[in-house]
Every structure is written in structure tokens, then in C-alpha cells.
A and B are shown apart, each in its own frame.
Chain A
């Protein structure tokens, strides 16, 4: 079981890296979604998998005995899912707004903050003091 989930997690991570390196911003966002799921599965697997043994203390006892599913990784993943969901919603709106402003989702063409115009050094050097 752990082997299967490890492989699934690895495949998800590989797929997300492929998507993250696309030039298309929408694919990048999908890559981020898959990346988050791959990482969450990894945390889940690292907590050791125990099936059908909920961590509930039976009546009359004070501690759990025997194998039980580790609740902490699940709590961690729950937090991570909520956070990545919020960030994802923001990212989608951002890509949409950027599309509305630039009419492109090709990341190569998103250069408004980094204009490619070159320096006119000769023109400038003539005007330097001294």
C-alpha cells in the first residue's frame, strides 16, 4: 500500500514539474494544483499507513494500544489543503486579471514589469558630469 502511494506521489510530482515548465500560465496553475496534491500524498505516506484502525481510545481505557492510523499527518494535510485552496483561488483570479490586462496567457509575453529595451549607453555617457 505504501509502495503504491509513493509511486502515485512520484508520478504526480513528475507530471507537475512537466506542467510547471510550460509557457502557458493556465498549465502552470494546473501544475501547481498537482504539485500540492503530490506533496500532500507524500506527507500522508510519511505518517505510515494503517488501514481501518481509527485513533479512538476505547471506553474504559486510557491509552491506545496496537496499531492505529496516525492523525497528525492528516491534520497537517488538512491545513495544507485549506491554504493551497486559498492560494489557488487567488492565483486563478490573478491569471485571469492578467489575461484581461494583457490578452495573453503565454508567460513569455508577460513582460510589462521587465521591459526589454536596451540601455543607450553612448547617449548617456555624453551627458555625464565631468
Chain B
């Protein structure tokens, strides 16, 4: 982050110039300091962020938020990354939250700044990502008058946040920001917003914000009820064809180790949802990878035929379930979730276990041996089922045509990159076919290494999310697989990656189309390719160079390894414009609202469904 906006004056500016006050000298002596008093609402906002442990903020300046930025100028603890667009700020904060587990913070001014954040907040809301947004607002006496750059930000964002606050008072604004921060990360994570009228942030106050605490109406459960755990364990012990379905909630609850332990102790096959990718190592023999519309055939076979599903931290999204009528139709469902409203929302839970996934997995682990004994069964009885799952892995193996000549196969690019990359490399994506190939052909083994837009499916998520991910984990390799359409939606954020000197490798799987749409048009609209082809696409390698990044063009399958290595070894943002076979489509596929067991492995099967 070499050329970022200086939020605190560089040492040279004050040291030895005789202007230093006794106070700042004392602070400099002590090294890092924490402020302990405030004089304005804006300072109180900044103090609240410092107290909450925030480190990096992503934002864009503007009139109504200027007092907060001004207060940031003196912060020693907070670093600000200026983004090119507020949507970029919200996605970067979202990815920061996914990778670090702590709320990512984004800032915007009122009106257009705030509305530009909305997509990112909606995205975070659908994926339960911890994000806090601070938006400027016109002064309170103008609110409601259609003043310059006024938007009812609380009204606009309420449906896409856990809660949106309107700060009405300089004395309480800091405490509200702390509360929003705590709320974003406690219980089921999600975005929160605090709207900050300019007179409130400019107003005088000496009220130092309290500790970040969630409101007293918010009491997420921790442990599941012991009797419920015992009956769920009994159901699992009695099952013949059990599976674990691990969702994003496992990762959010830091329960991946517990999951690994539990699955291996009782030898139960593990399927993840798409947001759950990384919660269980995909190279483990019990892993069936992920299920759903473009999930593996073996995961979808297992999910369809299981008689007992331990579902943890998943909201049973329709891209996972297909038609609910045919989803795991033989299965008793044990549903572990911290949000009671997820229980029986889409799929009825026979055994609801409301609590934190980590705690509940531990509780279940304790209950299992007792349950086996009581049932007079043991994990051995699942052996036949495990063999069946293994047979499906062979029968429905994930394959694609190997490219000997052009055109280049996108799956090959992803697979090779996965082989060459560090084990803990983080992958982010845009939305479309490339996102599916990335999730299918990269082998994920660690939590918090898969960063993608699931619930909202936001094109343009790729470029800024890679920035947020890299800043959250500067020592980890970061790769972004993007589509040409998605890349163009937020390409301006490349300027940020260059300015901040972030070592990110962007791979644009370029099929000169919004490929996923084209795939559906070919499959379901008789090939009428309305508005899905991009005959006017720019050359992304050259575009990258114009931004000050390094650009590479990749067309020849024989050059895949070489160019990947060149891009990886370039110390800064690199963009690989990978010209892929435009005819390539994503399989397997469960048609929308279909039956998970009836996935198509190819176009012919799709036609028969």
C-alpha cells in the first residue's frame, strides 16, 4: 500500500519541525496509541472503529462524509483505501470480511455514494458476510427536503442489511457505530449500516463511545438444547446412508476443524454447498465436493439418495436444492443453524439444532458414541454407502476435452493454475461460467480461500473482491478468475490494485460473451442469442497495461503453465487475457427448479430432461 491516501501525516512532516505538541511527542514515544477523548461526532465514529479493532476502510470521498474523512486524517490505527467506485468499496469490504472473519468497513458519501454501495450490501446480506457501511447524509434539518445528494439511505438499505441506523445525535453516534460493528459479526453475520448526517458528525461532543456491544434485543443462541442433540445423534446413528451438508455457516463459525474431526471420526461423506467450499478439504476421500445446479454429479447423487442429512449452516438456497419436492426426498434432516428463521424455511428440519455450528458440532461429537451404543450400530454400517459414493465419484468424474490444439479449454486453465498455486491461495471470481469452472476445477482445501458472490450472483464482484482479499491476507497468493462481462463491470478498480501495489493475478476467461446467459439461450431459448455476445470486447492485456498493471495474452494451450507462472511471479497486479473456446459450456447441470438426481452431463442429456 505504497501510495495510499495518508491518513496520518508521514513522520517526516511533523518530526523535527518544532510544531509538534507535547501530546503528539508523547504519543510518538509510545509508538501506537489509542485515542481516549473525542471532540466531534466524526471523531467519535473513528474512535468507535478503532475500539472495534477495524484496520482497513474502503471508500470514496464526498461532501456529506467529509467530516468523517477529516477525523480519519489523524487516525494512527486505521488505513483507508480509496476505491474507484463505491460498489468496489462494498465488495472489497465484503471480501475482506470473508477472508479475515472480521467485519469489512466501507464508506461512502450521501446520495449516489450510498446508492452505489447497495449492490455490495445486498450481496453481503445474501451470503451472510460481515460488513459495516458508513454513509454520509445531508444535515438533519435538510433531511426529507430532497436536498442536494439526499437519499433515504436507511429506507433503501433496510431490506438488505441486518439493521440500518440513522444517527441522530453527536453524543450517541460513536456508540451506534460500535453497535453496528458488533451486530455485523455476532450471531448470523451480515451487513449493517450507519447513516451519518453531516451536522451529527460535525457536531461537538465529548462522549467517548462505549465498548462495541450488540443491542439488548439481539440474543443469538449458542448451544443447542441437549435433548435435541441426543435425538439428532440417534437419527444419525440409525441411518444407513448419511451425509453431511456443510454450508458457508461452517466457515463463518470457524468450525472447519470440528467438521473434519466429526466426519472422519464417523466416516460420513461430506458434501458442501457452494458458499461452503473450503469448509472441508476437497482432496479428502470423504469429500464429494459441492452439490447444486453445477455441482458434481456424485454430490448430487449422494444428496438425492441419502436417508439422513446433517446440514450445517446452510439456508437451502434454490440453486442448491433444485425443486424442494425432489431434494433429499428420503432424508431425515438435522439442521444446525444459528438463525432460527432458517429452520424449516425451505426444507423442513426433522431435528432442528439452533446454535453456533462449532459448539453444536462438539455437542454432537459427544453424543454420537452414546447414540451408536444405544442403537447397537457403528460407523461400519455406513461402509456400503461409502463405497456407493466412491463408485459415483468414478462414474460421474469431472472431465473435459483435453486441449491439444486451440481453442483453449477454461477448465484446463483453472486446473493447471490450481496445481501451480500455493496450497492456501485465495480464489475470487465474477459471476458466470468462469465462476463455475473456478469452483469445479480448483481444489480447495482450506476455509476462507473461496471468495465469490453466491446468493446475489453479482457480476463485477471479481476485481474489487480480490483487492479486499489481498489486503486482508497480504501473505497469501490471490487469484481472481473473471469473465469478460464481469471484468468490464468493475475494471476501474484495477487502478486501485496498481496504486496499492497489490500482488494479484487476474485471469479473464474470455469467451467474448456473457457466456452463462448464452449457455441458457442455447439450452432453453432455441439458441436465440439476444444481447449475449460481445463482438466489441477490448484487449484486456492492453487495458491492464494502460492501468499500469502487467498484461498477458494466453491463447495456446501449450503456453498455459508458462504464462501462469509469469503472471504469478510478477510482483503486482497482472491480468491474463485467456482467449478460451467460446463454445464451452458448464456441466453437470441441474436445470433451474429441477431434480438434483437428474443433472445433465452434456448437451444431449440436457435435451432429454
A and B bind:
no
Residues of A within 8 A of B (CB): none
Residues of B within 8 A of A (CB): none
